[in-house]
Structure 1
Amino acid sequence: LIDRIHKTISQLNTFKPEQIDGSEEKEITLQMRDNTASFQGMPYLLYFVLPNLYFHVTTAYDILRHCGVELGKQDFLGQP
């Protein structure tokens, strides 16, 4: 898992600002099971991506806690 995180961070570091600038307005279309959903970039991030991210992180945290891994709130929030 740690290797995957490092690989992901390395991939993110390859992006240049000009590749991302202006994507707040970009039209994003997702194919769902029976339909499609369209978003502009910023609402997509704020109302689709981030809630899904927090859901999955929280669920993984809960499963680990349930399985006896000693995790606390600071592990979830990260180090200051």
Structure 2
Amino acid sequence: MSKDKTMDPMTGEKVATDGVYANESGQETSLKRGDEFPADVILGQTTWELKGFSLNEGEIDHQNKQNTSPRLHADRGDK
């Protein structure tokens, strides 16, 4: 039995990390965070596995407002 208890994302779920994903039939596609995993033409609903991170930094939206809020300076009065 495998010690890896994580499940690959399924068709219809939201993408959490920008990158190149491959489905069970080996079809690769580039997806961005917030996209929905597409269905396969032959298999229909399928699982997706992250194969690599996006190489084009220009495609990545680093200013996405859905990110966690930035950490601010804690005013401790020691300045």
TM tier, shorter chain? Answer: under 0.3
> Relative contact order (alpha carbons < 8 A, sep ≥ 6): 1 or 2 greater?
2
The TM-score with structure 2 as length reference comes to 0.20
Structure with the larger strand share: 2
Greater Cα radius of gyration, structure 1 or 2: 2
Structure with the larger helix share: 1
